[in-house]
Chains A and B, each alone.
Chain A
Amino acid sequence: MECRATARSLSDYLDGWISADEARSVEAHLTGCPACRSLKMELTELKNAARELPLHTPSKAMWARIINEIEADRSGQWQPVGEDAGEGTWWEKFKSRRFSFSLPQLAGAGALAVAVAVFGYSSLDSPGQTGRLNLAGARTAVLPDEDQLIREFDRRMAAINARKASWDPQMRADFESQMNRIDQSLSKCRQMLNEKPDDKVHQEMVRSLHKEKIQLVNDVERLKW
């Protein structure tokens, strides 16, 4: 047996997928070939290492997002519709769609977003204003300590806003998608709290989601994006 044939049989040999005759041929070749013996050791080590890979941890807000979706499902707020009714909620379907816009459409949307933001922030600063404009579902405090968390987030966000334009577009898209997801969950939790203001679980979720937003901005700051 030559090296090329041995190399090709090595994975099957290590997994016990070859016949006894073939295994003997491989072993005979390995005895006299240091290069193939080394390859066998490397593949064995690779196979062992694959079973011991560390586990990764998703973001802390994951459970809040899941339970929100389940609760929404159960309360019938987002019933699946259409042909794929069993596949997911309308939000999942909306998320999975790919949209494309022309440059003028994007420019128009950008201008509108800036106008809304300017209007929103000026409304926040207006004296005598009791309510706050709900930007991304996170601006109207529903908990006594929520204002502090919102201010903390705004302060940190202001620090990175100036740099955001120079980020790699993929990074910016990832950041915004992550932030949007947290905001979606926050908005749903706050909606639940408006219905049941004493719900301790949702109160805790709102706090945890604010902290998640702050953590995300902290991570960006730490990585010096």
Chain B
Amino acid sequence: MTAKAINNAASDHELAKAAAQGDTEAFETLYERHHRRVYSLCLRMVANATEAEDLTQEVFVQLFRKIGSFRGESAFTTWLHRMTVNHVLMHFRKRGVRLEKTTEEGEIGELQDIVQSSGERPRFIDRIALDKAISELPPGYRSVFVLHDVEGFEHEEVADMLGVSVGTSKSQLHKARMRLRDLLNKKI
């Protein structure tokens, strides 16, 4: 069995342990397994392919430096995604991106949106159109939507990562969904 085949059969935890000993082939296998999800997460959060590439590169370099601190208490994927989110948020802070705060009343005309509803039949949402619509959201809504609905983090985790209250996270998620629905309906 070749080294590559052995690596392919190994768990993330085993590969992380090997990479922590300096095994770059094991690290490459981890990269092959996870780079698309890390890049997709970065791309959806920053909505810019060049920045997303830079961030993905930085995340994996940072991952290699810190991989020895992975103890296997959580899934490797969760650990890596958390590291990625923190890195993107750090990037936002450096760039001075403001994650907008929402009020209880909100600025989206929800009632009007309901009236403009497209009927009761379920509608197939084009995934590519949804991806494009996500990129058009303001950064704060986009972050909450990507973290909660795309990545599956809970509101407590989202609030913790973004430094907002759980109430704000929930409120921003609802507004993000309503804005997305609006954007998707406009494209039909």
Interface residues of chain A, those whose CB is within 8 Å of chain B, are 3-4, 7-8, 10-12, 15, 17, 34-39, 41-43, 45-47, 49-59, 62-63, 65-67, 69-70, 73-74, 88, 92, 95-96, 174, 177-178, 181
Contact = CB atoms under 8 A, between A and B. Distances in A.
Nearest to A71: B24
A62 B180 CA distance: 31
Residue from B120, B128, B152 having most chain A Cβ neighbours under 10 A: B120
A66 B31 contact: yes
B154 to A, nearest CB: 9
B110 A58 contact: no
Residue from A10, A34, A58 having most chain B Cβ neighbours under 10 A: A58
Contacts of A43: 177, 181
B57 A62 contact: yes
A79 to B, nearest CB: 12
A56 B36 contact: yes
Interface residues on B, range: 35 or more
A51 B106 CA distance: 26
Contact of A39 (B58, B60, B114, B121): B114
A39 to B, nearest CB: 5
B141 interface: no
Contacts of B61: 66, 69-70, 73, 88
Interface of B: 22, 24, 27-28, 31, 35-37, 39-40, 43-44, 49-50, 52-54, 56-58, 60-62, 64-65, 94, 106, 110-111, 113-115, 117-125, 127-128, 130-131, 145, 149-150, 152, 155, 170, 173-174, 177-178, 180-181, 184
A50 B57 contact: no
16 contacts: A3-B111, A8-B110, A11-B173, A11-B177, A12-B170, A15-B155, A38-B119, A38-B120, A42-B117, A43-B177, A46-B184, A53-B130, A53-B150, A58-B36, A70-B24, A178-B53
Nearest to B106: A8
A108 B120 CA distance: 64
Give the secondary structure class of B's interface: helix
A67 B35 CA distance: 13
Contacts of A69: 57, 61
Given A49-B130, A62-B57, A42 B31 contact: no
A173 to B, nearest CB: 9
Given A7-B178, A12-B174, A17-B170, 14 more contacts: A4-B111, A11-B173, A15-B155, A35-B114, A46-B125, A47-B149, A54-B128, A56-B39, A63-B31, A69-B57, A69-B61, A88-B62, A92-B58, A181-B53
A11 B169 CA distance: 12
Contacts of B54: 95
B50 A46 contact: no
